[in-house]
Structure formats: C-alpha cells, structure tokens
C-alpha cells in the first residue's frame, strides 16, 4: 500500500477510473494513460484486468476497515458515530452527485456482469452493515441492530442514487436531516 511504487499507482488510478466511469468501461489504455506507463507493462504487475479489480477491492476494504476501526476506537458516543456515517453523504456529496456511491455502483455493476469479484465487493457493504449493527447494539437496540443497520444503509443508498440522477444538493441535505431525526427517534435515550 506504500505510495510510490508503480503497482500502487496502477491501483490508485484504476480505483478512481472504476468509480468515475465504471469497471467494464475502463480499459487498460485508460489506466495506462492515467498512470503514464505503457500498456504492455501491466502484465508484470497484474496478470489480468480482474486482478486489478481484485486489488482495488482489497484496497477499498482495507481503507474502509481502517476508517471504521478509527471511528470505533474513538471515545465518541455510538450515537455520534452513526451521525458521522450519515454525514458521509454531506462530506462526499459532490462526488456522489457526479458518480453515485462508490460501493453501491460497483456492486450493482458487478452483479450485472455476474463477475467473480461480486462477493468481495459485497463485503464492503457487509463491513458497514456490521459496524452499524454494533453501534446500535451499544445503543441498547441489540435485538433489531442488524435491521436498523440495513435500513440506514438502504436510506443512504437511495439518497446516493437519486442525488446522482437529479444532482440536487438541497435534496441530499434534506434527507440527511431526516435520517438524523429518524436516528434520534429510534435511539431517544442517548
């Protein structure tokens, strides 16, 4: 993961391009141009395009795990941690309005392609699902923790999809506020 090696440049460029234009629509030529290397050089670092996707997913999983672990190890209240998750929609709204949610759009594309890395990409969702579930458990909602986590995930996915379609900042802010109100209503004892 150390920044500087050619391999890391490839993964980073592929990560961005897969997000912005989709996996299938991104060719070796696109990535090569972005990194500034020749096409033939790929084979030395990755045997196939699928391998690049695999490396991108591994990196995204690592980054997500690190982010969630950092949130979890902080001494913030679980309620505020969940609010931080919701706030991703605000922090990344420009990118989300342009290209949708990086997780949701990747999983949707790989599902259509019936791609072998589907399960690996879905694991990104599972990370958030498990993390959110743990926070709800800490808030005393253990019995429904997973259902609440899934509901919150679905809410943010829906907002991301429509934000991408209608490019409406006010809509995103309105829905984020609504999600905050929902959270406060579900966990009033915080």
Q: Which residues bind a copy of itself (CB under 8 A)?
A: 20-22, 24-25, 99-100, 104-105, 107-109, 111-113, 122, 125, 147, 150-151, 153-159, 161-162, 164-166, 171, 174-175, 178
Q: Which is nearer to a copy of itself, 45 or 151 (CB)?
A: 151
Q: Who's near 185: CB < 8 A, 6+ residues apart?
A: none
Q: Which is nearer to DNA, 58 or 162 (CB)?
A: 58
Distances (CA, A) of 145 to 19, 47, 69, 78: 30, 42, 18, 13
Side-chain-side CA neighbours of residue 61 (13 Å): 15
Selection from DNA, a copy of itself, none that 153 binds (CB < 5 to 8 A by kind) is a copy of itself
The b-or-e profile of 85-110 (16+ CB within 10 A means b, else e) is bbebbeebbeebbebbbbbbbbbbbb
Selection from a copy of itself, DNA, none that 43 binds (CB < 5 to 8 A by kind) is DNA
Q: Which is nearer to DNA, 7 or 83 (CB)?
A: 7
By CB under 7 A, residue 20 contacts DNA: no
Q: Who's near 167: CB < 8 A, 6+ residues apart?
A: 97, 98
CB of 99 to DNA, least distance (A): 19
By CB under 7 A, residue 28 contacts DNA: yes
């Amino acid at each position: 993961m150390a920044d500087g090696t050619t391999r890391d440049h490839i993964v980073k460029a592929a990560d961005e391009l897969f997000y912005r234009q989709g996996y299938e629509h991104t060719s070796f030529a696109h990535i090569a141009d972005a990194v500034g290397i020749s096409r033939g050089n790929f084979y030395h670092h990755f045997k196939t395009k699928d391998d690049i996707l695999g490396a991108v997913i591994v990196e995204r999983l690592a980054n997500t795990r690190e982010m969630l672990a950092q949130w979890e190890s902080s001494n913030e209240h679980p309620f505020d941690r969940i609010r931080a998750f919701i706030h991703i929609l605000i922090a990344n709204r420009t990118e989300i309005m342009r290209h949708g949610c990086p997780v949701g759009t990747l999983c949707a594309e790989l599902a259509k392609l019936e791609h072998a890395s589907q399960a690996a990409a879905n694991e990104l969702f599972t990370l958030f699902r498990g993390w959110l579930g743990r926070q709800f458990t800490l808030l005393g909602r253990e019995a429904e923790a997973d259902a609440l986590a899934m509901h919150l995930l679905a809410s943010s996915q829906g907002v991301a999809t429509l934000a991408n379609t209608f490019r409406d900042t006010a809509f995103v802010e309105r829905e984020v506020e609504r999600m905050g109100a929902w959270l406060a209503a579900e966990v009033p004892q915080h």
